[in-house]
Every structure is written in structure tokens, then in C-alpha cells.
Amino acid sequence: MAEMTLDRLLAETRHALSRTAAESAGLDARLLVEHFTGTSRIDALRNPDMAVAASAVAAVGRAVERRVAGEPVHRIIGEREFHGLPLRLSRGTLEPRPDTEVLADLAIAQARLVADRTGRCRLLDLGTGTGAVALAVLHDVPEACALGVDILPDALETAATNADINGVGTRFATRESNWFDAIDGTFHIIVSNPPYISTSEMAELPHEVKGYDPHLALHGGEDGLNAYRAIADGAAARLEDQGIVAVEIGYRQRDAVVELFERRGYALLESARDFGGNDRALVFSI
């Protein structure tokens, strides 16, 4: 049997994936091969003829089978980068998407303003999942500390691991809670990427999403707004003076979420669109 080279493994993996994931076959192949062979793009360019161990070839083969069956590539790898930070994934965590970086950017900007004004910033991340948004803030704002809240213990364990991996573990704590139920104290910023998919939309989600992301992190009730009601109802009592609430929203939910918060006495302070030009994040003051 001919020796498997890195270049050949990449080509064969790309071909195998092109049958079911033509649009992403090239990227998926590169991610899987790099992960399971411990190589990089530089290796592929500079040393394409390097030999690949049989064990690594077998691992890539098993990964290809999982990808062909519909499992997202980052679930297979077990991690995904967010805002430049490597984040581990687990069954209890939503896979962070690039669009959520818009929410992180808003939270970072607000945290810097708070830190400049007070010398510190205390952040509450509701439904923290992997810890993505909170850890992005902690990484960019050294004066900040954060409490990550989730209803799933698996998510809290993963978030804590991610905090340690990214060097901010001493400023990140976790707590199991259904929204504000087990939360005390006050915060300068409350941030959340909550479940906001409506019941009817849940049925339309692709298998790569609803088959692998936890439904608790996706389903926002009949109209998709249950989480926003809980946040708006509980946030005011947990905010410092001049505190703010920042939330991610579904691309068709801007008006409904703004109205919901304004009815409870909040004012829209800022909004942002995602990389596709869709409404994606809102910031409220009270």
C-alpha cells in the first residue's frame, strides 16, 4: 500500500466530503485533517509530501463518516474559535456562531466604558453555554470579572474549562440557575444569547443544528420571546446604576424585543447588525 501523504489525505478527504457537503468540503477537509494529524496550513504548503501515520489516517476516516452523516465539523473536532479564543464544546453547549461576535463586541465596548468610569466591571452572562461572550469580554477588558449562569451543569463545566484555557479563570465564576432564580448581587452589564427560536421555526431548523445543539439553548417558546420576558422582568433588580442589558436576537425579532423591553421601562441604547446585515444584537438601559 502506498504511503499516505498529507497532500493526498487532504485531497481524498475533500473528495469524500464533496458528495454530501459540497459547499464546505474544502474547509471541512482542512479542519479535520489538521486536527487529527496535528498539522497546519503551513505544513500543507511547505511539506505536502510528509508521511501521515496510519492511526491519524484512520481517525480522519472516522471523522469523515461522522461528517457525512450530518454531524457539524466543529462538533467532531470538539472545539470552535470565537472572537479569537479556542472554545471547547460539549453536549450541553450551543456551538458559538460568528454572528454572536457582534454581541460580544457590544459587550466589550460597554465593559470598557464601565471600567474607565469605575475601575472595574462586573458582568452577568445568562445562558453562558461555552462562556463565549463573557470570556471575550474578560480577554479584552482586564478590569472585568464575570459570572456565567446556565441551567445545564455540563455547560457550566465546559465554560469553566474554557475560562482556564484562555487564561481568565481567576475572573470567571459559574452558577447553576434558571435565569435569575439563584442570582444575588448587582452587575454593571447583563448579557445573554438566549434561546429565541419559536416552536414553528424549530421544526424548520436543519439537522446540523437541531440534531446537535441542545434544544434548551434554541427553543424560546411558542413565539420565541420567553427568554426575553424573563430577562426583562428580572434584570432591573440586578443592575448597578447606569447598568445595561445586551441581548442577541433572531433576525426578525427586533421590533418585538424592543417593544417588550420598553414596556418594562427600558430604553434602547444601541443596536447592531450581523455580518449578513441582519438585526442581531440590542443594548438597553433602564
DSSP 148-216: EEES-HHHHHHHHHHHHHTT-GGGEEEEE-STTTT--S-EEEEEE----B-HHHHTTS-HHHHTTS-GG
CA distance 108 to 128: 16
Distance set, CA 183 to CA 203, 237, 283 (Å): 33, 11, 21
pLDDT, residue 106, reads 98
Cα–Cα dist 177/145, whole Å? 18
pLDDT score for 2 = 58
End-to-end CA distance of the chain: 69
Output DSSP code: residue 277. Answer: S
Assigned C-alpha cell, 47: 511539506
pLDDT value of residue 23: 78
Structure confidence at residue 92 (pLDDT) = 93
Structural fold of domain 6-77: Helicase, Ruva Protein; domain 3 (1.10.8)
pLDDT in the model for residue 15 = 93
What distances in angstroms separate CA 38 from CA 31, 34, 35, 84, one per listed residue? 10, 5, 5, 19
- In order along the chain (286 residues), what is the average pLDDT of each group of 10 residues? 83 90 85 94 90 94 93 95 97 94 98 97 98 98 98 97 98 98 97 96 90 92 97 97 97 96 97 95 96
Residue 13 and residue 66: Cα distance in Å, rounded? 12
Cβ 224 vs Cβ 183: under 8 Å: no
Give bridge partners of residue 283 from the DSSP assignment.
246, 270
Q: What pLDDT does 24 receive?
A: 87
Task: Tell me the β-bridge partners of 224.
Answer: none
Measured CA to CA, the distance from residue 234 to residue 245 in angstroms comes to 11
Sequence ranges of the domains in the chain: 6-77, 90-285
Q: CA 100, CA 166: separation in Å to the nearest integer?
A: 18
| In this structure, CATH architecture of domain 90-285 | 3-Layer(aba) Sandwich (3.40)
Which residue carries 439563584 as its cell? Answer: 182
The 8 Å CB, 24+ separation contacts for 157-160 are: 157/90, 158/88, 158/89, 158/90, 158/92, 158/93, 158/129, 158/130, 158/131, 159/93, 159/128, 159/129, 159/130, 159/131, 159/134, 159/135, 160/131
pTM score:
0.92
**Residue 256: what pLDDT?**
97
CA trace torsion 142, 236, 160, 155 (10° rounding): -150
Q: Could you give the CA distance from residue 96 to residue 108 in angstroms, rounded to a whole number? A: 17
Domain 6-77 and domain 90-285, same fold? Reply is no
